[in-house]
Structure 1
Amino acid sequence: MEPKYKAKLLKKEEIANDTMAFYWEKPEEFTYKAGQYCDMTLNKPKVTDEDVKERAFSMASAPFEVGIMTATRISDSTFKQWIEDFTVGTEVKFDEPRGEFTLHENVATPAVFIIGGIGITPVRSIIAQATHEKLPHKLTLLYSNETPQDSAFMDDLNGFADKNTNFTFIPMMTNTDSNEWSGESGLIDADMLKRNVSDINKPIYYLCGPPGMVKDMRQMLIEIEVDEKNIRIEEFSGY
């Protein structure tokens, strides 16, 4: 099916090491829930290979925000190299937003996000929207990166934490020294989780990031006897 919406690039910027954010005009009638994704199709790809000209991207912007923001790690793939070279005015096509990686409705149930790298994109949307709407959900974000320079949206996330008393932001670095980082270091494990989540059996857990990390975090939760029905995984990881 032909993608339904057309959008032009308004600006782009580097937001972390090898990580770019792209800001698009929001097409009329394009609506989505915080945390959803859609397929982006290049309008005039340099080749006709269908596998190359289309990729799925989470909306990193929140529905209340004016435009659409997507973000990605820039890799050596042909598609990623093309979008890195996009100029203002470049037009792409979006299909209908979809996905169930959205905030649960029960406000009495906390949410714990265990996120790695560019897996932060749908979570930035969820937390921005929850902060904007002043939702009463208790939200905890464990956000893992190698270094502060690799960490996207840190200013945004710290800003949400300042505005939203229900949101706890815990960034973690796996490869840094004490001179450049004074926060949590090392890998996310069961001990770290228990230090920051008072009742590990109460929340809904949201996992997104590199496939290996998501697999390991899911296994960790199962080993500490978190109910599998309380674990949500974003199948599209953006890698």
Structure 2
Amino acid sequence: MAEVCVLVGAGPSLGAGLAWKFAREGCRMALVSRDRDALAALEAELRAAGLEATAFPADAADPESVAACFAAIRERLGDPEILLYNAAIVEPATLSDADFDYVMRCFGANAGGALLCAQQVIPAMRRNRRGSILFSGGVLAFEPILGWGVTAIGKAALRNMALVLDQELRGDGIHVASVAIHGGIQTDPFYAPDRIADAFWTLHRQQPASAFEREMHFKRPD
């Protein structure tokens, strides 16, 4: 039976690239986003191409919204075998004078929501001793840039979350990894969404557990 893939952050750009890639590979897509209009448009495009996709509007940083969303996904599609977490707030902002509520809102989207969503799929993946949890990371986790401090701390937390979850879950047959994107998706053709989506698919297909990469750096060769 086709795998159920939950894509959180199913918007334009990389979100759309991931949706098309995994749907074309035969997955039944559960598309999650706060943006109902973008979500409906992507769902319609995939269905028009004969691919299976269902929209589930939700706020990834809100625990109640996430719980209700994943309950609806399980009821309609079954237990997810794949979680792709692509939700993020990527904006220039300095830490030294940032509004605290704004920092927490960004951190919730960039890291907190990833944990909320992962915790929704881990129990079934543990029972079945298989599954993939893959996060969209970025170069700011390694090389903070002046003026992007708020985004940088979220991406750094996301990276470490992936590394810790890999330690906790690899023995259960669950592949946890992040894809560190080292360039601008909107500005450099090398970082085209479909190329990055291929990297996510490569990670998902890795077997056995001893072959799991816990971090993939998507960047130009040195």
Does the TM-score normalized on the shorter chain lie above 0.5?
no
Give the number of the structure whose alpha-carbon radius of gyration is greater. Answer: 1
TM-score (norm 1): 0.29
- What's the TM-score once normalised by structure 2's chain length? 0.30
